[in-house]
Chain A
Amino acid sequence: MALPVAVVEAAPIDWEVPEEQIGLWQDAWIRFRRNRLAVLGAAVVLFLIAVAVLSPLLVHFGLLASPLTQHVESIETPPGVNGHPFGTDILGRDTLARLMVGSQVSLTVGLLVQGIIFPIGLAIGLTAGYFGGRIDNLLMRFTDIWYAFPDLLFVLVVVSVWQLKGPWYLQLIPIFGAIALVNWVGLARLVRGQVLSIKEKEYIEAARSSGTPPLKLILKHLLPNSIGPIIVTLTFGIPNAIFLEAVLSFLGVGIQPPQPTWGQMVADGAEAIYANPSGVVFPALAIGFTLLAFSFIGDGLRDALDPRMRR
């Protein structure tokens, strides 16, 4: 008996093609924008950058009191008296002007230190993770030592020894160096861990077996696939660096007067805390909310750059 043979037509497979291809970055940007706190944090940071850049201009055109001028007629005044919206400090200097100019130091430290850490941590982490062996061993032993040496102590010791005199951006150089020295280890370890886990993936094996040279493999496959966590770590490094600089200034070993910094302002304000508590409150809140804004951005980026959270 002849069985009826069904003729199977080669029907075109209905691949689900999304209307528009969305790349990692575009997708991350969409998800970052959806996170209200992260957007708020980004807005605060942009505002601070504008303040830091514009405040010298405002002082120059007389729209803002100079942060160095002493108004002898109003010393330690509370906010809103004698045309000082945020009050004055123990030497009669305008608190608002000092706050605005002080943001320069905090932002410079926060952003530039990451620029130093990034190439160092990346290079060492990639080498240790990819080639392993002695470099890897050395890095891990080094980290062990580093973890027994708390970063604040190390930065304090370095800054007590290396000091540069001159304008504030010159004084910042040893502080940069010290903070970068304590922070690159964390990034290098992260990159190493990323590389180690990605190295075993099938697509790397495929690339390697088709004869891709190591440098191209690192740049084309390893780096793009581990860039998310690297960016997140760098973002969280910003508030950490700002915090370290503020502590140094607070303890009196950071940027020296007359350049105002927020940490220094908290310490100065504490001298006259009973006469004018607002002298402590304003810089303290400025530091706190700046750090909060950066950590909101960090949280937002962490969620946005994690492909597993993709909906």
Chain B
Amino acid sequence: MAVVAGRPKRGALLPKRVAAVTDSRLGSLGVYVVRRILWMIPIVFFVIVITFVLMHSAAGSPWDKAGGRQLSQVVVDNLNKKYGLDRPVFEQFLLYIWNVLHFDFGLSYQYQGKSVLELIAGGWPYTATIGVLAFLLIVPIGVGLGVLAALRQNTRVDYATMGFATFAASFPNFVIGALMIVFFSVLTYGWTGGNFFLPAGGWGMDDHLIMPAITLALLPIAYTARLTRASTLETLRQDYIRTAWAKGLPERLVVVRHVLKNSLIPVVTTLGPTFAFLVTGSVIVETVFSIPGIGRAFVVAVTSRDYPMILGTTVLFSIVIAIANLVVDILYVFIDPRVRLT
């Protein structure tokens, strides 16, 4: 590089120093990410411990039949041997951990000859489809409603949006699902003579996705809208926004470039909990709309005491949620330069 003679320009040294700061920040970011990933291991381990201990503290054996004739002792002994229940609990636990490390979650008690992993893999496409659809609804609608309400604060638009958010946040999703089925499947069928209605459950056509996705998305939409409204109102009060107005920027520019860029930072943090909610919400929504996904499989496992299946789904869910939280935390560091890495 040619050396340019003469007085260095003002601030010529500045970019270099900024780069150095960013470098050290990126360095500590690497450490931060690695530490967060390592921290996931004890979390998942403890979830396994808690669930495992709970499963084994249950009264009776998984082969007890609710009412009616019980299995003979010989059959029970053979079943115990087959599923390794005849060994000491601690040995079973170590074996389970060892198997989980090899992606083996054991055999289901309920479905003969099916492994837990097969059952989860079978339900995955359904749960993922509904979850992704709901997520695609949550972010644009939630953020859109929140920004709209904040920009039109104390007008009818604001009251209507926040009223809707309060309702959506209070009504549980199985109640909303049931009411939607009554309205869009049962009543609409009667009113239109069967010409227009939405299917009350099942899978196969696009129609089947509409109500489950909306039911699942409604509560997170309400939370996102409330949070976006609050943080946008906070941002609108800042001095730099007044400056932006004062220098005559058009509304669109002020809102998009100055307000949203700052007010959406806190909204990113809720994406982690939103993801966790989608996971637990799938349990309910898949039951309401009879969708054969992982959530439905979990409920069936809980009601039929299929312990390996309960353990497997719980571990899987907690891993998914831990990863989602990790991704959100890392995203946050990139989006908000003020975040201190600890």
Chain A residues with CB under 8 Å of chain B are 144-145, 147-153, 156-162, 239, 243, 246-247, 250-253, 263, 266, 269-270, 273-274, 277, 280-281, 284-285, 287-288, 291-292, 295
Contacts and interface: CB of A to CB of B under 8 A. Distances in A.
Given A152-B283, A153-B280, A252-B303, A284 B179 contact: yes
A280 B283 contact: no
A273 B189 CA distance: 12
Interface of B is mostly: helix
Contacts of A281: 179, 182
Interface of B: 39, 42-44, 46-47, 50-51, 54-55, 57-59, 166-167, 169-172, 174-175, 178-179, 181-182, 185-187, 200, 276-277, 279-280, 283-284, 287-288, 298-299, 302-303, 305, 310, 314, 317-318, 321-322, 325
B172 A153 contact: no
A292 B318 contact: no
A287 B39 CA distance: 39
A291 B170 contact: yes
10 contacts: A152-B283, A157-B302, A161-B54, A250-B174, A251-B284, A252-B303, A263-B174, A269-B178, A277-B187, A280-B182
Contact of A144 (B43, B172, B185): B43
Contact of B310 (A144, A157, A284, A288): A157
Given A148-B325, A274-B186, 13 more contacts: A148-B318, A148-B322, A149-B318, A150-B321, A151-B280, A153-B298, A157-B302, A160-B303, A246-B175, A247-B284, A251-B299, A266-B178, A291-B171
A266 B175 contact: yes
Contacts of A239: 170
B182 A277 contact: yes
Nearest to B276: A150
A149 to B, nearest CB: 5
A150 B317 CA distance: 9
Contacts of B47: 145, 148-149
B175 A287 contact: yes
Contact of A251 (B303, B314, B325): B303
Contacts of B59: 162
Contact of B280 (A152, A288, A291): A152
3 interchain residue pairs of minimum CB distance: A292-B170, A288-B171, A161-B58
Contacts of A150: 276-277, 279-280, 317, 321
A147 B182 contact: no
Contacts of A148: 43-44, 47, 318, 321-322, 325
A284 B178 contact: yes
Nearest to B175: A284
A153 B317 contact: yes
A270 B181 contact: yes
Contact of B172 (A151, A158, A246, A269): A246
A22 to B, nearest CB: 28
A218 to B, nearest CB: 28
A266 B174 contact: yes
